Structure 1
Amino acid sequence: MLYAAINAKDHAVYTLSTVHSWRISLSISPPSPLPPSQMTQEQYILASQPNPLQRTGCAQAYPVGIYGWRKRCLYFFILLLLVTMIVNLALTIWILKVMNFTVDGMGNLRVTKEGIRLEGVSEFLLPLYVKEIQSRRDSPLIMQSDRNVTVNARNNIGQLTGQLTVGSEMVEAQCQRFEVRSSDGERVLFSADEQEISIGTEKLKVTGNEGVVFEHSVETSHVRAEPFQDLKLESPTRTLTLEAPKGVEVSAGVGEFKASCRKDLTLESTEGDIFLNANTIRLGNLPHGTTDPLLAPGTTYAKQTVYEVCVCPSGKLYLSPAESASTCQTTNSVCLWS
């Protein structure tokens, strides 16, 4: 209850009181009469006239508040706010239930002391920045994409230093040096950079039918075929060159060595000798010398199976019939058209 007393000019007392139900009662009490000796003429006239505000019995109340359509609108908005709160609370509970929010995490995502643990199949629509990705024990780690899978490595200023792209048609690695190590991590099995490609395995096996194609030179210390298989070095349209500063050795331990060509076969030694060591040395298809009509006109030799080997000044070899004396001079007509 709130009361306020205001003294008017005519000493009337206005009392303001608040009651329940938003009603305000305003009561006006008449001024207390003064002794005639203390009244002025104006006060006497006012005191002698009847006061229309004077009430008999209880004071009349004047209700002040919100009524009518304003009250209905207020109740409607309060009801709408209450319904909105209930719907929001229900949606929040539904989202928590569907997303499986728990104290440890959300759904298949668990937050542990070691990091974040994710189980099942996960899809990342935006780039993923992590320090380490590890699968569960005894379970493979599978990264799958509809287009390609790209792994980037950057330095502290954001520059790209390494990239591995697994696409639908190829696997591409972009880095300064690419290495493939053994299971223990000690040996380098394969390495590649801008200068060279190194293979550190004990054996390099190529199973293709066409073998290995090298566009440029190849440096190796040993070329060997598989057991019970042939070794073939071939250049279909160009030359095949074997070079070594200390020597080239071609050895066939239990088989034969064959060198064939369409044109000339040259054996050259600039400072040393050409040494042929065998039980039998055969020179096939050597031309037979014919008698020079100027040196030995009318000379004929009987057909025989023994010949002597003659050499032209150009180094060409030819066969001449073997007699008691040399017949190379009389059959040197081969040297004329050599």
Structure 2
Amino acid sequence: MISSAAARSDRSAASSQVIRESPPDAESAHSHAEMTQEQCSHRNNVQSSEQAQVYKVGIYGWRKRCLYFFVLLMMILILVNLGLTIWILKVMNFTIDGMGNLRITAEGLKLEGDSEFLQPLYAKEIQSKPGRPLYLQSSRNVSVNIVNSNNQLLTQLVTGSSGFKAQGKMFEVKSTSGKLLFSADEQEVVVGAERLRVMGAQGAVFSKSVETPHVRAEPFKELRLESPTRSLLMEAPKGIQILAEAGDIQAICRNELRLESKDGEISLDARRIRLMRLPEGKASAGASASGTRQTVYEVCVCPNGRLFLSQAGTGSTCQISNNVCL
């Protein structure tokens, strides 16, 4: 600014000099005018060049205010973003070992507390802490499926509100020592325990035959084999032994009780054999008139196997009182 003022003062002094000097003649005046125009044009060029070199540096006005506003807004957003990031890290419990209840260990992933999986979970092994139970909880059912390489179902285990269902080729239950307790497949069901106990009031119901070497009741309990609507058949190639060491044996039926031996005999060995409610035969009129009334009877057998009682005499009275066999 000082240099421009000095230039203006020099120009004013030069012009005053030009005005004060008077040319002596016309030619000199003409030459002097040409010199004056050249000086004026030179001064104008110098002045325009000096004016062109003076310019302002920076942003001024509304542009400057908008720039400051955007810089301030960006700083506020950066601070808010930093605060939210720190808050998320604090809430989610992000650490070097993992996030929240999830910890990354040398053995794999470790979950502490309750965990919920909204998508399928693929894992090689799932186990709880030593001494802690493992809970699998679902509002509907829990399914465990075993598939092959072609994604075909081989074994399935489903526990739901309707019950427990297992599907597979074979089902086994073993004890801690490795002894087979229960086994089931398409061919047979094996109970490996020393005792099979049925706690139901109606006992065990079998729709087909039952093959067993020994049927025994619990101590001080009764053993009852019953067929309410059909027949009860006990069959063995060598023999059937019915033993009650501390009680009685009762065989009750509605229609007929048959003891049959095709190649052997049936032995009734006891101190007392009682045949209850046997029919009593009636003797003929002549035999009853000659004899006296007695209370001793003889057991008689009809040709069809029916038993009846007949009053005993000096000889056999079965032929006399055989009206039961008719």
TM-score when normalising by structure 1: 0.74
Of residues 231, 242, 246 in structure 2, which corresponds to 1:250?
242
After the TM superposition, which residues 153-232 of structure 1 pair with which residues of structure 2 at under 5 Å, given as runs?
A: 153-184=146-177, 186-232=178-224
Q: Determine which structure has more spread, i.e. the larger CA radius of gyration.
A: 2
Alignment equivalent of 1:82, drawn from 75, 79, 95: 75
Indicate the residue corresponding to 1:264 in structure 2.
Answer: 256
Relative distance call for 1:251 and 1:155 in structure 2 (3 A) is same
For 2:144, what is the secondary structure of its paired residue? Answer: strand
Q: % of aligned pairs identical? A: 56
Question: What is the correspondence of 1:1-338 to structure 2 with a 5 Å cutoff?
Answer: 50=41, 52-55=44-47, 58-60=50-52, 61-62=54-55, 68-184=61-177, 186-292=178-284, 296=286, 299=289, 301-336=291-326
Structure 1 residue 59 displacement after superposition: 4.9
Secondary structure of 1:87's match?
helix
Shift of 1:169: 4.6
- Shift, 1:72, TM fit: 4.1
Q: What runs of 5+ residues in structure 2 fail to find an aligned partner?
A: 1-37
Q: CA deviation at 1:259?
A: 1.1
Rate the CA distance shift 1:161–1:75 in 2: closer, same or farther, 3 A.
farther
CA distance in 2, matches of 1:298, 1:226: 55
Tell me which amino acid in the other structure corresponds to 2:278.
L
CA contact (8 A) 1:310 1:328 kept: yes
User: Distance in 2 between the 1:331 and 1:164 partners?
Assistant: 74
Q: Tell me the distance in 1 between the aligned counterparts of 2:153 and 2:65.
A: 67
CA contact (8 A) 1:307 1:322 kept: yes
Provide the C-alpha distance between the structure 1 equivalents of 2:207 and 2:63, rounded to a whole number of angstroms. Answer: 94
**Deviation per residue, 1:223-253 (Å, 9 max, x gap):** 2111111112223333333333333221112
Residues 54, 123 of structure 1: CA spacing in aligned structure 2 closer, same or farther, 3 A cutoff? Answer: same
User: Aligned in 2, Cα 1:304/1:329: closer, same or farther, shift over 3 Å?
Assistant: same
What CA distance in whole angstroms lies between the structure 2 residues aligned with 1:268 and 1:106?
82
Quick one: distance in 2 between partners of 1:88 and 1:243?
89
Q: Deviations over 1:261-306 (max 9, x none)?
A: 222111112222222222333333222222346xx58845321122
The aligned length equals 288
Secondary structure in 2 aligned to 1:55?
helix
Alpha-carbon shift at residue 179 of structure 1 (Å): 1.6
Q: CA, structure 1 residues 247+70, in 2 after alignment: closer, same or farther (shift >3 Å)?
A: farther
Structure 1 runs not aligned, ≥5 long: 1-46
Question: What is the RMSD computed on CA atoms of the aligned residues?
Answer: 2.9
| Alignment check: 8 A CA contact 1:292 1:333 kept | no
For residues 5-51 of structure 1, the C-alpha deviation after alignment (integer angstroms, 9 at most, x for no partner) is: xxxxxxxxxxxxxxxxxxxxxxxxxxxxxxxxxxxxxxxxxx89926
Shift of 1:335: 1.8
Q: Which whole-Å CA distance do the structure 2 matches of 1:196 and 1:220 have between them?
A: 14
* TM-score, with structure 2 as normaliser: 0.77
**Cα distance, 1:211 vs. partner?**
2.5
Q: 1:74 to 1:176 in 2, by over 3 A?
A: farther
Q: Quote the Cα distance in structure 2 between the aligned partners of 1:49 and 1:85.
A: 61
Q: Determine helix, strand or coil for the equivalent of 2:47.
A: coil
Higher helix proportion, which one?
A: 2
Shift of residue 62, structure 1, vs aligned partner: 4.6
CA distance in 2 between counterparts of 1:245 and 1:74 reads 110
Distance, in Å, in 1 between the alignment partners of 2:130 and 2:214 is 43
Between the aligned partners of 1:57 and 1:320, the Cα distance in structure 2 is 167
Q: Separation in 1 of the partners of 2:61 and 2:313?
A: 154
Residue 160 of structure 1 deviates from its aligned partner by 2.5
